[in-house]
Amino acid sequence: MPVTRLNHAVLYVRDVDASAAFYERTLGFRHVMGGPGAAFLQAGGSNNDHDLGLFQLGPQAGPSGAGVTTVGLYHLAWEVD
């Protein structure tokens, strides 16, 4: 089953607004949807509904590590044939 591309990535972050602003300003992503504590961004030229998801844990979140209580990678989604 060959992988054709990475579909999207989702990250846990301390501050969703600051993180979204970083990706918008630095990489040109645009905000396409969200809600309290969440933002979904799309890269320029993409036809995905989102390329990056951000979920806020808040300022109490520890440094990156395994689990849902720390800042870091939540999941990657690969497209396959």
Q: Residue 20 and residue 22: Cα distance in Å, rounded?
A: 5
Is the entire prediction scored with pTM above 0.85?
no
Domain membership of residue 11 as a residue range: 3-80
Interval 21-74: pLDDT, tens: 999 999 899 999 999 999 999 988 888 989 999 999 888 777 766 666 777 777
CB neighbours of residue 54 within 10 Å: 26
Name the phi and psi angles at 18, rounded to 5.
Answer: -65, -40
Q: At 79, which amino acid appears?
A: E
Specify the number of domains making up the chain.
Answer: 1
Q: Residue 68 and residue 10: Cα distance in Å, rounded?
A: 12
